[in-house]
Amino acid sequence: MRRVFLGIDCGTQSTKVVLRDQTRDEVVAVGRAPHEIVERDDGTREQDPAWWIDALRDAVRDAIRGERFEIGGIGVSGQQHGLVCLDQGDRPVRPAKLWNDTTTAAECVELTRKLGGAPRVLELVGNLMLPGYTAPKIAWLAAHEPESYARTARMCLPHDYLNLSLTGHFVTEYGDASGTAYFDVRSRRYSEVVLGAIDERRDWKRTLPAVAPSIGVVGTLRREAAEALGLDAKVGLLQRPERVVLLSVPQAFFGLALNGWVLALIIIFLTVTAWITVVQRVAFVYHQTEPRVEPETIRFADGEKPRWLRRRRSVPRTLLKGD
């Protein structure tokens, strides 16, 4: 039986999956299933988390198409910044507010005021309060939907919800957590000050997922999830470093690595050039001992291709068209 790795990317518009052969280092199959999105004139952008699970099932089936594979490991990437609210049974309380939801502008202003201004917010978490981030979404929920907020036992990001539904483990990773605006990127801990400004009475330790390194093991597939996807329940998400490691860089890509070297970066649904950039400059940032910013990567994100990319002989010139 052919041994492959399964890559999953749950984006805003669709869920995509890729099967990649372990020994030949080639793409075997791809699958895709679209998502609906709730859009309103007030800036609302929401999705039912159940749509992601349904799309994942359909995308996997679309890729496998009745064939049998030995799945060596699974890598998952997903939307960052969004807010998923779960009740005591880990059922979604309401639709998830997405990264591109802009209804929270007033909450950004109020949280910034309560925390002592923008410089103080930067000092606390390394980010400003922006409408796309998770912290103002929680404040919005408490102010506008108090009943839903009261029913919420746990909160997480869309990526975390996928991992929870697949494995039963409630965990996030440093890269995703850094985009919440309630996580101190320097100390790599949740900011008690920011969370207290949102709600000083809530037990945040029970509410938020544990934070773990991107390189590690989330767990193995729950039997119910495996059956829905048509996979073996023994398949692991984020295998151990000596076997298969998933580099979980949020909202961009996932990678499969072996002994610290990238074996295959399978999913990136931006551009091929962006894929090369992620491979060469971003992939290893998230398993540095200390947080580190890559200036050239930031410039690339703003639309400028860095000099090192233009210099690389391994990059086909057709990919650099427009330089």
How far apart CA 230 and CA 61 sit, in angstroms, is 8
Predicted pLDDT at 298: 39
Residues 46, 140 contacting (CB under 8 angstroms)? no
Length, in residues, of the chain: 323
Residue ranges of domains in the chain: 3-320
Class of domain 3-320: alpha beta
Predicted pLDDT at 255: 34
Q: What are phi and psi of 80, to 5 degrees?
A: -100, 165
Predicted pLDDT at 205: 96
Predicted pLDDT at 169: 92
Residues 166, 76 contacting (CB under 8 angstroms)? yes
List, for the chain, all residue ranges whose pLDDT scores fall below the cut of 70: 232-323
Predicted pLDDT at 68: 83
Task: Write b or e for each residue in 18-39: b if 16 or more Cβ atoms lie within 10 A of its Cβ, otherwise e.
Answer: bbbbbeeeeebbbbbbebebee
Cα 96 to Cα 37, 44, 132, 156, 221, distances in angstroms: 10, 10, 13, 10, 23
Cα 289 to Cα 92, 133, 187, 293, distances in angstroms: 35, 25, 12, 13
Q: With H, G, I as helix, E, B as strand and everything else as coil, classify residue 295.
A: helix
